[in-house]
Structures are given as structure tokens and as C-alpha cells.
Amino acid sequence: MDHWYHGLQTRRTRFNHPIEQNPGQRSKPIESLLLEDLSLLIDLHKDGERQGPGGDDETRLAIALSGLGARSQLQVADIGCGTGASTLVLAKALDARITAVDVLPEFLQRLDAAARREKFGARIKTQVASMEALPFAAQSLDAVWSEGAVYNMGFASGIRAWRRFLKPGGILAVSELTWLTQQRPQALEAHWKAQYPEVGTAAEKMALLERSGFSPVGYFVLPPRCWLENYYRPLQARFADFLSRNQNLPAAAAIVAAEEQEVALFERYREYFGYGYYVAKRAGD
């Protein structure tokens, strides 16, 4: 899981996750970040192709599982799209109009520029909005896509809230932090239980999908390359410039230190956790 917001766990507030002392508490909204931390995080991440683990091939695999490729004139939303890596793949692969939603306009400006460059300006529309108050009509979408972002409102709340925007039979495709084994080292378990209490196994997530009115149609795990080559290494390559243009501010150094800790956590424990990619169909209508 990208956890650039976890970077703030040693500070007074964090990007989006529950405050340490209250592990069961609901996620904090992005608005609760210290302004200094938020602008630094934007500064660090806006030049990234991705703001979390993922890969173009993996987005294409999810599209293949969804069966959407055979259909035309689709209406799709990409929620928490960041600078839009998945949005661009969706635009290339599908006959679709895509509304790309994020709460940070700085990320959407990058996507607007890329969409213009790649001649998708007419099919990709960006929209600043909260994933908790999406601007779509009920049953208006053929697919809701969201890579590495649903945790911001929590998997259970997110999938239930977004279901109403899907047409009957519409597709939900989300990637989500997932335990890959039944047994985990205690330190790792404690870390994720505090950071994201909804972390669970694929079987638990599938059951939740079924209980929430979806029929799972596919599941796979993002390979380590999606974390290391596609996300962490490019992020680490930006640290030196980030620190220098921010005069090595303590807040900037704290963000870099926390990102490095997150990378180390993944490198050490990657056989136990990862991102599961869940593709499901709206059912039960």
C-alpha cells in the first residue's frame, strides 16, 4: 500500500489513517493533515507517475478480468486516481469516457496535461471531489475503478457507498492492502492493525464483497515489481531534490525518514502482505 501518509505517523496528525492511540478509530480525512505536511507530501508525490504500488500490465489484467473490453461507450470513474497512471491505461484499453476523481487538484493537473499530450482530452475528465461525496447519479456508471485509494474511507464503507453508482452488472475494480498468509510476524501484524485495522485476507475481502452486493469475478496479487520498480525506487530517487528544495526542513526530513521505513517494511515482510486486486460485478438487483 502506498503509504506516503503513513509518513506522518510520528507527527501530530497523519494523512488518512487512524491516530495511533486509537487504533480502532475511523480514518482521518485528508483535511486533518497539517498544512505544512500536506504541501510537502504533494511536493514529493506530484512528480511521480504513481502515488502507490501498481503497474500498467496489472491494470490491463484487471480490465481483461472485467470483460469490459468487449463493450462500447462505457462510463467509468477512477477514484483517488492521483496523477492518473491507471486512468491513462483505462483510456487506451476501453471505449470509455472516464471521470478521474481525486481530492488533490495538483495531481489532477498532471493528469490533465498527460491526457492532452496523449490525445485523450475529450475522454478523460478530471474532477476534484471527495470519494465520500462523489458527484455521480445512481446507476450511471459501467465501472468504478480505484487503485490503492479505497482505504481512505475504508474498504467496507467504500465498496458499499460506490455500489449505488454502478448500473446493474457494473464492474468494481479496487486494489487493497491484503494479508497473503494466515500467520504473520507479530511486529508486522501490530503495525498494520494500528495503521489500517481493515487489513484482511483475500477470503475476508471476497466475503465482504459478497455481503455488500457484489459477485467477485477475479483476484490477483500485485507482484513486488509494482511496489519496488514502479513506486518505491522512483520515489527514493526524488528524495535528494525534495529535501534540497525544501531546505532540509525537519518536516521534510521526517517525511523522507518515514517513507524509508515503509520501504524497509515492505522489503522485509513482502511475503506476508501486498496489494490484492479485486474485480467484482454488481449483483443482487
Ligand X SMILES: C[S@@+](CC[C@H](N)C(=O)[O-])C[C@H]1O[C@@H](n2cnc3c(N)ncnc32)[C@H](O)[C@@H]1O
Q: How far is the CB of 38 from ligand X (least distance, A)?
A: 10
Closer of 86 and 178 to ligand X (Cβ): 86
Strand segments, DSSP code E, in 151-213 are 166-179, 200-201
Q: How far is the CB of 86 from ligand X (least distance, A)?
A: 6
Closer of 54 and 213 to ligand X (Cβ): 54
Phi, psi of 144 (to 5 degrees): -115, 120
Burial of 217 (0-12, 13-18, 19+ CB in 10 A): middle
Q: Which chain residues interact with ligand X by CB under 6 A?
A: 2, 16, 30, 50-52, 54, 80-82, 85-86, 101-104, 107, 130-132, 147-149, 152
3-state helix, strand, coil in the chain (%, to 5): 45, 20, 35
Closer of 76 and 131 to ligand X (Cβ): 131
Helices (runs of H) and strands (runs of E) counted in the chain: 10, 8
User: Rounded to an integer, what distance in angstroms lies between the CA atom of residue 207 and that of residue 215?
Assistant: 10
Nearest residue to ligand X on Cβ basis: 82
| DSSP three-state, residue 49 | coil
Closer of 103 and 143 to ligand X (Cβ): 103
Q: 137, 131, 203, 140: which is closest to 160 by C-alpha?
A: 131
Closer of 2 and 259 to ligand X (Cβ): 2
Q: How far is the CB of 267 from ligand X (least distance, A)?
A: 19
Closer of 36 and 210 to ligand X (Cβ): 36
Q: How far is the CB of 168 from ligand X (least distance, A)?
A: 25
Q: How far is the CB of 119 from ligand X (least distance, A)?
A: 22
Query: Which of 154-193 are b and which e, b meaning 16 or more Cβ less than 10 Å from the residue's Cβ?
Result: bbbbbbbbbbebbbeebbbbbbbbbbbeeebeeebbebbe
Q: How far is the CB of 31 from ligand X (least distance, A)?
A: 9
